[in-house]
Amino acid sequence: MSWIGWLDDQILLAQITKFSCGGYAVGICFSHLVFDGQGAAQFLTAVGEMARGLPEPSTKPIWSRDAIPNPPKPPLGPPPSFTAFNFVKSTVEISLDSIKRVKDQVAAETAQRCSTFDVVTAMIFKCRAAAIRSAPDAEVRLGFAAGTRHLLTNALPSPDGYYGNCVYPGGLARTSQEVTEASLVEIVTAIREAKDALSARFLDWLGGGAKDSHYNVSLDYGTLVVTDWSHVGFNDVDYGFGEPTYVFTLNDDVNIVPSVVYLKPPKPKQGIRLVLQCVEEPHAAVFTDELEKLA
């Protein structure tokens, strides 16, 4: 069995490295069959609390898988086929000033508030659409996953303590021309509408009313998947040495769908750090140039 194949069969692995300078690195590999990001952060927080001498975790873990309804599954189609891409890997930081500027624009034009996720995602989606130069009528798609614990308050004895997989996919699709010609405010608005619709879609799926598979997303170069690690809770874990200076993800083997992960930059920096694996070499320069205009 290969090393990667062996990792795929593990529920949880941890490696602690102590450096001669006195610093530590904690590496974690976990299965999404057991945890989602919030659940994994809850588990690590409990480990840190016990390492610091607490008699029990401040948030008691809840298994309660049986409490969550098991809705009927729509008929599955043929197995998907995947294309391996040669993504350019890079990191970019979005400043708080840039994020605030867009938030202020949204407030001025729509009288609505928006989140940092909305702003950063709109930036990435717009810049990437301009970079990959799809045909004007070609569809470009955005995918993300949102936590749904707050929608299961009647099913779970304690949504805060539930550490299992509890996310639901959302997103939107537009033509390439629509995205490249839209303002950031318009794209932010579309993202907020997609997030608002996600709750209704999840409850519809939970009640068995969904007619299509909720994972029916085309995994190709036209789809961008974004993941926000900046508020999951990994940055708050304390093993007895204080909160970590930096938390990051190793997803170098993800090569079938363009992806971006949002992280907090190393302290004391502020803003959002992007781990990018979303364009191939022919589109990298334009993507970087477009992003630098907004970052």
Domain count, the chain: 1
In a domain, 261, yes or no: yes
In a domain, 264, yes or no: yes
Q: Model confidence at 2, in pLDDT bands (50, 70, 90)?
A: very low
In a domain, 256, yes or no: yes
pLDDT cut 90: percent of the chain above it: 64
* pLDDT of 112 strictly over 50: yes
49-59 pLDDT, tens digit per residue, is 999 999 999 99
* Residue 234 to residue 44: CA distance in whole angstroms: 8
172-181 pLDDT, tens digit per residue, is 999 999 999 9
Q: Which of 26-30, 110-114, 258-262 is predicted least confidently?
A: 26-30
In a domain, 78, yes or no: no
Can you give the CATH number for the domain in which 240 is found?
3.30.559.10
In a domain, 275, yes or no: yes
In a domain, 77, yes or no: no
In a domain, 143, yes or no: yes
pLDDT at res. 204: 84
5-41 pLDDT, tens digit per residue, is 555 677 888 899 999 998 989 998 888 888 899 999 9
pLDDT at res. 214: 58
Residue range(s) defining the domain that contains residue 91: 3-70+83-294
Residues 167, 141 contacting (CB under 8 angstroms): no
* Residue 140 to residue 39: CA distance in whole angstroms: 31
Average pLDDT rounded to a whole number, residues 245-266: 89
- The residue among 216 and 262 whose pLDDT is bigger is 262
Average pLDDT rounded to a whole number, residues 69-86: 76
* Residue 279 to residue 276: CA distance in whole angstroms: 8
124-174 pLDDT, tens digit per residue, is 999 999 999 999 999 999 999 999 988 888 888 888 899 988 888 999 999
In a domain, 245, yes or no: yes
Q: Which of 8, 32, 150, 212 is catalytic?
A: 32
Q: Which of 204, 220, 236, 238 is catalytic?
A: 238
Average pLDDT rounded to a whole number, residues 269-277: 95
Range list of H helices, the chain: 3-8, 37-51, 96-110, 116-132, 176-181, 184-206, 281-294
pLDDT at res. 3: 47
- The residue among 202 and 218 whose pLDDT is bigger is 202
Annotated active-site residue 236? The verdict is: no
* Residue 285 to residue 176: CA distance in whole angstroms: 19
Prediction pTM value:
0.91
Annotated active-site residue 231? The verdict is: no
